[in-house]
Amino acid sequence: TISPLGDETSEQLLGMIGDAVRACRKCYLCEGRTNAVPGFGNAGARIMLIGEAPGKNEDLQGKPFVGAAGNYLTELLGYAGLTREEVFIANILKCRPPSNRNPQPDEIFECTPYLRDQVRAIMPEYIVTMGNFATKFILRTDRGITGLRGNLQKTGQFSVLPVFHPAAAIYDRTKREVLEADFVYLGRLLGNVPWEGD
Ligand code: URA
């Protein structure tokens, strides 16, 4: 998608990808967008979090996870001893689907090269996939999130932790407890939270 010369910093690469995303017209979703939402955060992040697609607030602001699910995500990061400033947050789709419907296969096909480029630019240690769409794409699986969540997996050089999507858990107490426990686990893996008995 982008043609780096090879000597760019992660930050420069992310800038190039962001410019390409904002100019993108590869699928129909560009027609309805206010802003494309490339992603946001630290180019040197150890942790990258991947969601599904921008919603209304994200489309208006051009930033990922800034609505209700985003506020909850900020709280979840706290369970792992993390702040937004030290992670990078992106989505499978960079433009908002109409009425927040599910991403379609052709949209995922056209859009995910941007995400691949972002992962390569950042080379995080951990990728947290939030919900079915991010998990299926990153782990190349058809298995659902309910069976995969909380199980750390190695994919290439990355440790991948699938978790419920914050928007799916926000009004579901049981899912919320599971999701919060998964972020505590992430914090332990990172050395931010003591293991039980430590
Ligand atoms: N839900 C997502 O998956 N991504 C966002 O950016 C916001 C809500």
Average pLDDT over every residue of 136-155: 97
Residue 150 to residue 152: CA distance in whole angstroms: 6
Ligand 1 centroid to residue 154 C-alpha, Å: 24
Angle at the Cα of 132 (from 32 to 184), degrees rounded to 5? 115
Which segments within the chain are labelled E, that is strand?
Answer: 40-41, 47-51, 88-91, 126-130, 153-155, 158-163
Residue 125 reports pLDDT greater than 80: yes
pLDDT at 198 over 70: no
Kindly report the average pLDDT of the chain as a whole number: 97
The domain defined by 10-190 folds into Uracil-DNA Glycosylase, subunit E (3.40.470)
Domain ranges of the chain: 10-190
Q: What digits encode the pLDDT tens for the residues 35-83?
A: 999 999 999 999 999 999 999 999 999 999 999 999 999 999 999 999 9
Q: Please write the tens of the pLDDT for every residue from 178-193.
A: 999 999 999 999 999 9
Identify the three-state secondary structure at position 102: coil
Asked if the model's pLDDT at residue 1 lies above 90, the reply is no
Please classify residue 146 by burial: count the beta carbons closer than 10 Å to its beta carbon, then call 0-12 exposed, 13-18 middle and 19+ buried.
exposed
DSSP state of 32: G
- Residues lining ligand 1, Cβ inside 6 A: 51-55, 58, 64-65, 69-70, 91, 167
- What's the pLDDT at 127? 98
Query: Per the structure block, which two tokens stand in for 68?
Result: 């209700």
This prediction's pTM: 0.97
State the Cα–Cα distance between residues 72 and 68, nearest whole angstrom.
6
Return the axis-axis angle of helices 132-139 and 105-122, rounded to nearest 10°.
70
Is 81 in contact with 187 (CB distance < 8 Å)? yes
Please give the number of the atom of ligand 1 that sits closest to the Cα of 63: 6
pLDDT of residue 3: 85
In the block, tokens 């390569």 appear at: 120
Please choose from 58, 102, 133, 170 the residue to mutate so as to test ligand 1's pocket, defined by most ligand atoms within 8 A of CB: 58
Least confident window among 83-87, 104-108, 193-197: 193-197
User: What's the token pair of residue 111?
Assistant: 């859009």
161-179 per-position pLDDT tens digit: 999 999 999 999 999 999 9
Mean pLDDT of 116-135: 98
Q: Is the dihedral of CA 77, 96, 141, 88 positive or negative?
A: negative
